[in-house]
Structure 1
Amino acid sequence: MRIGVLGPVTAWRGGDAVPVGGARERYVLAVLSVEVGRVVPVERLIDGLWARPPRSARAQLHNLVSRLRARLDDGVIITRPTGYALAAHAVEVDLAEFRALVERGRRAAEVGDHGVAEESFGAAVGLWRGAALADVDEEFAGPVRVGWHEERLAAWEGRLAARLALGRYDEVLVEVAPLIAEHPYRERLYEVRMVALVAVGRQVEALEVYREAYRTLDVELGVAPGSALRELERRILRGEVPVTRQAAPVVAPRQLPPGLVTPAGRGEVHGEVVAALRAAGPGLVVLVGPGGVGKTALAVAVAHHVVERFPDGQLFATLGGSHRDRVDPHVVVGRFLRALGVAGAAVPEDPEERVALYRSTVADRAVLVVLDDVAAEAQVRPLLPGGSSCATVVTSRHQLGALVGAARWTLPALAVEDSLELLSRVAGAERIAAEADAAGGIVALCGNLPLALCVAAGRLAVHPTWRVAEFRDRLAEERRRLDELSLGDLDVRAVIAAGYRLLDPSARLLLRRLGLSATPEWPAWVAGALVGGDVDRSLETLADVHLVEVLGRDRVGQERFRLHGLVHDFAAERVAAEESPAERDAALGRVLGGWLVRAGVAEERLGGRVGPDSPDEAIAAPREWFEVESGVLTACVDQASRLGFPEVARGLAARLAGFLALRAESGASRPGSGGRQRVARTGVSARST
């Protein structure tokens, strides 16, 4: 949890503001934040809350802290015998971050690293949201605020000094004028302004700044300027302050996250994308695929392998396409401009002007732009550089088909051998080889999804005493599988849920009801039966965001789809949580009934008893239809028997057993006897219910 005191007293949880409460709650939180990690005595809090404390002051304070504690995360406020404290390990306070950044800037300035100093001081100043403790009573906030504001001003001066050292005089002149207006007695600010004016050849104006400072100090305070300011004036008059008018240095940003190693199983596509970018081929590369398939890892690895092709910088931004709070490209353009060396004050507010300046800035440079987790084409277009020496790599769960002319790669799940390689890299090659069968089981249960495999391998790595087979068995428990696939900030369920939340209501309904399907793979009519209506648009939506995989048409002409096994697990969770038993039974009844009708038609056609006007064209070839659907039908028999549809179970078992017997008699497939026996057993079980 994060607490802010450099402005109105505020609390945030995961980026979202948390209501703190009224004036007294804000006061208590402010005092505890100032003393984070240290106990604040009850008496001190009571004296600050009441000029004349009532007899019930302790009880009221206890109730106030209880209300505040309920709004914050568990363990943030600690009760001690003599008072209360904020747990240092449970909160981040912006004041502490500010001071750490200032200290970093000072150390950098001492060793001449003015770039780091400027960045650190700028970040520190950027944490301020107005007057410190802006909504806290003046009696407490006043004395504290004075000292903190002095620290902020010192940080501003540190940033200005760093920019002077970097030769960024125009930026200094833009920023120092309002600071002088706010702090007219701060002589150091006049010195900075005078030096910057002389540096750009404006000595006369620099001397006028000295006269302005002299008048202000003499008339309003009755004192003369200090020795440093007087000496600076004399040096300007003698011509000893150099005129060093120069352009700000060209900045080559290096914003790529770490990721030099090619992700497991992506060697071929990695080589293709690298070759394309090095050949100055496509100006735009799009990597698409489902959440957790490794798009970001591949994009970053590719970018690192082509840095020599883009010596003028690599820009990186995550656009939040898989979350509700998507990043405005206008904001990203501003960040990119500042990273490219454009002064903050020189970044236009007008969106079109900002984009124009961005494209002009990179027009003659070789810059690589990596845009991760894009939601739509509109997020990409303003961020595309115009220069022919630049290139952009985009990752998205969406197809982004309107980015015409882009070179496009769709990332599938890994091959089995690549999945085993990923497990071996993280969990240890000897360990995986020693239990190869169990490792193969983990790969299958993870559906070859790189994120799931990374989590599984990570859990094995941090638990060296676990047997691989034991962890496989834990994953095999369907209801626990997604719980097991979570490690720190890597969470398979959360990745799928992020996409689910962004769907429209119709697509969400379809996805969760697909969790009722007996198998992750199914023909198109199953989707319509599950929702009881037209699903073409919803299926298209789910396919676009890679929550459903389009398999194409099968041997009998049916369009088929598939849910990744882990998505199927998630969908089953959501339909159980969000829909009533009656709704689930109705949807399942329509699907199982649909299978029963189709199996009956196919059986009659096998016997030559149905004319050519069958309602389902796919069953025009009944034997092939049974061959295609026998696995699904077997699963449906099991499902109908388990979930209280005995008549459907018996009917499907009888029709499927008849086909399997016919196939066995014709000698087409001897292995069918095992399936026939299992179907027969299930049918007998259904008859007994």
Structure 2
Amino acid sequence: MRFTLLGPLEIVTSEGALTPSAPMLRRVLALLLLRADTVVRSGALVEELWGDRPPRSARTTLQTYIYQLRKLFGTFESDHDPGDSLALLTKPPGYELQLGKGDQVDVYEFEALVNRAKACRHEGLIEDAVAALNEALSLWSGAALTDVERGPLLDAEATRLEEIRKEVLELRLELDLQLGRHHEVVSELLSLVSANPVHEGFVAKLMLALVRCGRRAEALDVYQRTRAELVARLGLEPSIEIQQLHHSILKGDGEVGARVPAAPGMSLLSPAQLPPSITDFVGRTAETGRLRSAVAGDCGLSIVQVLGPPGVGKTAFVLQAAHELRSLFPDGQFYANVGDLSDCGRGLSDILAGFLCSCGIPPDRLPTGLRELSNMFRTWTADRKVLVVLDEVLAARHIRELAPGGSSCAMLVVSRTRPTAMPGMVTISLGPLPEDSALELLGRLIGPERVATEPEAARALIRTCDRLPLALRAVAGRIAARPHWGLDRMIGRLSRSDNLLVELGEHGDELLASVEASRRQLGGITRDALDLIAGLCVETVTAPVVADLLDIRVAAAETLLEQLVDASLIEEQPSIQEGQESSYRFPTLFQAAVRQLIEPWHASLVGPVSPSTSRPREPADA
């Protein structure tokens, strides 16, 4: 099937047109196509169809539309061969339209051609770039979704596509001028400026083309008319670039127009680097609301730092929020994982270079120094609205060097420990999932009927997993693959296991790596304290016990324990009675991970460390 959205909505098959005529059905189809191969939340579809006043029957009616589309395509979930043909699948919390091998959508063809043009331009293949851009523009047969009654989401998508179309057209005209095709583009530019009198990109190119055609007086007249329009409509003077071009034309500069003035790094498509969010995300409503409030403020650059223990779902939470906030940052969303940089300075330079290249800046125009790259990125973002998401941040320096420059920009930072506080930074700490959310996640992973059948076992299982999403996904994967297992059997395996992480499979390796990364950031004596506490094999510990183990004062032990709290490896449990000392809880899974790290070959064979022992016992001889 071929789907067109860059103009009228159409579905064309080898047997003819298959386009639905019902307005609401067309809106559902359009939104699913624009987000093909990703899950579209039911709430988003309801918002598109009925805005903020959906009827009580909205969900039922939406299900009817989904059924009608499946009937239209002649495919249902039960007979779907993954990847072979188009299918509309139910995937909580919504629906996913999966394209088949032969299916085509003009929007994705358009974006692919534009990206090909970007690559050709960067390699100096200007004629090939122009050819790709012309092919991309030829896919348009009118305004995007011109015959679809649009709600808020489709309206925003149509506006975004139209802006991209103008950017692509502007670039193609710039490249045509570089190739000396000023005579060919003058009439097109005259028409564009007439329709868009304050579009300074089109105006600059028209002035340039007219001068190159020997029509200097007309170029100056275009400038005067544009200036009058800008002042009358917006109360603004023309941009510095156009004023400089005007001045060069007045002087009769023979070099005028060697290159069309343009903002450094004009982007063909707004960078959209966010990794996909997970489809079964649950809970965190209060934290999400707090993050939204922090980002929506207008008090300058917003920085939100998200902390939490290994396996708690920090990255999933931030990516979920980032995708929901995309509409607030139309100029781009950048993503980088900075946790495994071997050489901090060089690694940050590579990240910034990647950011700037995605903005359309050719690699040969990038500076080499970290400070210069950081300044260029801040300059590009100064008057834009962009979102920067940084994962595994280790130090405040990472935030400072990778920060955008605009007051309407925002940063979401995922960190294991607390970097040095920065002005205006908001910190959100994630703990284990509340019990209800953990049960909901377990139900989504293994089926709600299994949780309902064994409610007490389900609650015991999530407690065994410390209510950590990573651990819950691990055990749920094993349970889902073994429908004959009861939940009690899984709990028994976990409680009897000599190596708890082995029972978690690949997710156990992930948790081990996450704990290892957190442990690696600790100072020497703090790491010793962590290792000794893990060897105790007890759920809670107090400062006097740690002081005895390390032969230090109780006050110093409290400081070490607080450092472990800051690293999100243990949890403080304040005393109930006044004057009673606090205790610190060490989650079972983290204990198992630390023991495996310090005694990888013997963790399951060595017994607990005695409270009177001052150092971890040495591994047995091989």
> Which category of TM-score, normalised to the shorter sequence, fits these structures?
0.5 to 0.7
What is the Cα deviation at residue 447 of structure 1? 0.5
Q: Residue 451 in 1 paired to residue 429 in 2?
A: no
- The aligned counterpart of 1:434 is 453
Match of 1:564 among 587, 595, 598: 587
How far apart, CA to CA, are the structure 1 residues paired with 2:490 and 2:120?
49
Distance of 1:268 and 1:398 partners within structure 2: 22
Which protein is bigger by CA-based radius of gyration?
A: 1
Structure 1 counterpart of 2:312, one-letter code: V
1:22-42 Cα distance to aligned partner (Å, 9 max, x none): xxxxxxxxxxxxxxxxxxxxx
- SS of alignment partner, residue 412 of structure 2: strand
Question: Equivalent of 2:128, from 139, 146, 161?
Answer: 161
- The structure-2 alpha-carbon separation of the partners of 1:520 and 1:334, relative to structure 1 and needing over 3 Å to count, comes to same
**Does the 8 Å CA contact 1:513/1:575 hold for their aligned counterparts?**
no
Q: Is the 8 A contact 2:537 2:591 kept in 1?
A: no
Tell me if 1:546 matches 2:568: yes
Q: Which residue of 1 aligns with 2:51?
A: none
After TM superposition, give the deviation of residue 302 of structure 1 in Å.
0.8
1:536, distance to aligned residue in structure 2 (A) = 5.2
Q: Which residue of 1 aligns with 2:387?
A: 368
- Match of 1:464, SS state, is coil
Contact 2:312/2:469, CA 8 A, preserved across alignment: yes
**Structure 1 alignment gaps of length 5 or more:** 1-107, 126-155, 168-194, 205-236, 593-689
Taking only aligned residues, the RMSD between alpha carbons, in angstroms, comes to 4.0
> Relative to 1, partners in 2 of residues 1:165 and 1:587: Cα closer, same or farther, differing over 3 Å?
same
User: Are residues 302 and 110 of structure 1, via their aligned partners in 2, closer, same or farther at CA, if it must alter by over 3 Å?
Assistant: closer
Equivalence for 2:217: none
- Residue 199 (structure 2) pairs with residue 200 (structure 1): no
Conservation of the 8 A alpha-carbon contact between 1:522 and 1:562: yes
Aligned with 1:359 (options 370, 378, 388) = 378
Question: Structure 1 pair 577/506, CA: closer, same or farther in 2 (3 Å)?
Answer: farther
Give the TM-score of the pair, scaled to structure 2. Answer: 0.55
Are the structure 2 counterparts of residues 586 and 116 from structure 1 closer, same or farther at C-alpha, using a change threshold of 3 Å? closer
* 1:467 correspondence with 2:486: yes
- Cα deviation, 1:493-515, whole Å, max 9, x if unaligned, reads 23222322343332322212112
Aligned residue pair count = 391
Distance 1:563 1:347 in 2: 48
Mapped contact 2:384–2:409 kept (Cα < 8 A): yes
Q: 1:530 to 1:164 in 2, by over 3 A?
A: farther
Which position in structure 1 is the counterpart of 2:49?
none
Off by >6 Å, runs of 4+ in structure 1: 108-112, 119-122, 157-160, 195-198, 201-204, 323-327, 578-581, 583-586
Counterpart of 2:611 in 1: which secondary structure? helix
The superposition leaves residues 184-221 of structure 1 with CA deviations (integer Å, 9 ceiling, x where unpaired) of: xxxxxxxxxxx9998338799xxxxxxxxxxxxxxxxx
- The equivalences for 1:76-475 within 5 A come to 113-118=112-117, 161-162=128-129, 199-200=177-178, 245=260, 247=262, 248-259=266-277, 263-280=281-298, 283-320=302-339, 328-475=347-494
Q: Deviations over 1:387-406 (max 9, x none)?
A: 11111111111112422321
Tell me how far 1:259 sits from its aligned partner: 1.5
Structure 1 residue 490: Cα displacement: 6.4
Counterpart of 1:589 in 2: which secondary structure?
coil
Letter matched to residue 288 of structure 2: H
Post-superposition offset of 1:576:
4.8
- 1:70-99 CA-to-partner distances (Å, cap 9, x unmatched) read xxxxxxxxxxxxxxxxxxxxxxxxxxxxxx
Match of 1:637 in 2: none
Match in the other structure for 2:241: none
Q: Please give the per-residue CA displacement for 1:324-380, whole angstroms capped at 9, x wherever unaligned.
A: 676822221111111122221111112222111111101111111111111111111
Structure 2 equivalent of residue 493 of structure 1: 512
Letter in 2 for 1:272: R
**SS in structure 1 of the partner of residue 536 of structure 2:** coil
- How far residue 568 of structure 1 moved from its aligned partner, in angstroms, is 1.8
Higher RCO (CA-CA < 8 Å; seq separation 6+): 2
Question: Do the aligned residues in 2 keep the contact of 1:309 with 1:366 (CA within 8 Å)?
Answer: yes
Provide the rounded CA distance (Å) in 1 between the counterparts of 2:276 and 2:326. 13
In structure 2, distance between residues paired with 1:586 and 1:454: 31
**What's the CA shift for 1:580?**
11
1:519 counterpart (507, 530, 538): 538
- Is the Cα–Cα contact under 8 Å of residues 526 and 591 in structure 1 kept in the other structure? no
Q: 1:574 to 1:383 in 2, by over 3 A?
A: closer
Are the structure 2 counterparts of residues 517 and 371 from structure 1 closer, same or farther at C-alpha, using a change threshold of 3 Å? same
SS in 1 for 2:336: strand
Q: Secondary structure at the match of 2:367?
A: coil
Q: Which has the higher helix share?
A: 1
